[in-house]
Structure 1
């Protein structure tokens, strides 16, 4: 049998006090699943695909799929657009690669804001940008870390979702693409090709399966790949980095890195994408003293 990645289960807590959450997870920057953090939210009972269709069916949403990144699209530029109602019907029919990613649906449909509250758990959550993410059965997000190095509370609704995480310390093994926030897109993290990507053997990550109403805390700069085991959706609330070094990285990413990458894509085209993918392998193998 082919050897898989070294993945351990993310710790789980039924509930957590603010003091324990900060001491056990935020301060040491360790992820955790909190099973009953939002049991008192109206969203816990109400939020489903049908409810979202009822509330936002006429809204046009940006869609992303799993096609390889190319010079045709800018950073986080959608591949398609569709009415939310039509998209949800697509999700209900069966597997699809189309996802809604980083969509501020709560701004578009203010009534949804009555369905949740901001947990008093010790994080200074940004109340302006709650984001929703939708996906069809089998769809997945590339392994990446977030541009703003936020501390994230990720709440899942309707179905099941697999989450693979790696701490920033494992970046040196993950074939990070330079001038980007992703690992090589052709890595299958559930069935890794160690001949092509030998450094992955050293990577130590975490895994969990989120169910309806569960909350995943992801610390600053954590790599994550999400796979929708069933059609469903999630919401993220964010808090700014507590670590000054990570805050400076976030500023660099937002105000320089993504604009530089978009410029190079428009100038060099696919050659720039190919160059970055080649460098991801060369630099990772060099750091780990691997010769091929």
Structure 2
């Protein structure tokens, strides 16, 4: 099979504004379907006024951990545990605005350093069991990429873009095997932009979503959805999570966070490359099922 084909990303994401709880629950939360909501927190919410300059002024003095796929050893079957570089937050913000860079901050708890930021927004009552106390911020320069993965806790995610534009590619969890998910992991080695159909032929049977979010947009990513994110420009956003309405999703999240990832670390330490090689073979075999 030729290697210059693209993955089918023809599914479209609905875009809505002023959606009611009843509409959201019926059309998106219960069926677990993605949607982009404009000004979900209300047009006048202070959170939409956040900017690079604001954070440089308020938190520029703190030291942050920066991740960079180009300068760090990539481990396709697991997440980074710690950032490879430290720098002042102000310097990092200046860097991503100055030129394209793959350096990013993710899962960054800005609220830990400035608690009053919680007062800048209140989550609308469209979802239940929302983890409002722990929103996490994401910063990146043009060209930075968050490689495709599923979130370990298997929660639903409301990702809000405040500055810049991001490309978001998503796949439903039903395609996990066809995406060559590694056992004991929520990762895969496929490259969304340059898929190798000779090495991963089952990608031809996958169908996904491809969209762009900009300032004021919140994208709802249902539990277990695979997502690949690219910074089309320097960007700033944050995510709030909620538990899935389906108990099966919650149980899977408990297994992945509480048991699976720890077993994976143990086997990786004991078996080393043999463990990763087994996972690659198992992923290829499962894709054909």
Change (3 A) 1:70 1:224: closer
Q: Is 1:109–2:111 an aligned residue pair?
A: no
Take 2:47 and 2:58, find their aligned partners in 1: how far apart are those partners? 13
Q: Is 1:163–2:165 an aligned residue pair?
A: no
Aligned residues: 282
**Equivalent of 2:90 in 85, 90, 94:** 85
Change (3 A) 1:79 1:280: farther
Extract unaligned runs of 5+ from structure 1.
288-292
Q: CA deviation at 1:75?
A: 5.2
Q: Is 1:34–2:32 an aligned residue pair?
A: no
Q: CA deviation at 1:21?
A: 0.6
Task: Return the TM-score normalized by structure 2.
Answer: 0.91
Task: Return the TM-score normalized by structure 1.
Answer: 0.90
Give the equivalent residue in structure 2 for 1:261. 264
Change (3 A) 1:108 1:267: farther
100-109 or 155-164: which moved more? 100-109
**Equivalent of 2:157 in 121, 134, 152:** 152
Q: Secondary structure at the match of 2:169?
A: strand
After the TM superposition, which residues 181-192 of structure 1 pair with which residues of structure 2 at under 5 Å, given as runs?
A: 181-184=186-189, 187-192=190-195
Contact 1:75/1:262 (8 A) holds in 2: no
Q: CA deviation at 1:188?
A: 2.1
**Equivalent of 1:125 in 126, 130, 139:** 130
Greater strand proportion: 2
Q: CA deviation at 1:23?
A: 0.7
Change (3 A) 1:17 1:183: same
Q: Is 1:244–2:247 an aligned residue pair?
A: yes
> Displaced runs of 4+ in structure 1, greater than 4 A?
none
After the TM superposition, which residues 270-289 of structure 1 pair with which residues of structure 2 at under 5 Å, given as runs?
A: 270-284=273-287, 286-287=288-289
CA RMSD of aligned residues (A): 2.0
Give the equivalent residue in structure 2 for 1:290. none
Q: Is 1:23–2:26 an aligned residue pair?
A: yes
Q: CA deviation at 1:211?
A: 0.3
Q: Deviations over 1:109-160 (max 9, x none)?
A: 2132222221221333112211111111111111111111111111011110
Give the equivalent residue in structure 1 for 2:222. 219
Change (3 A) 1:55 1:235: same
Q: Secondary structure at the match of 1:255?
A: helix
Q: Secondary structure at the match of 2:97?
A: helix
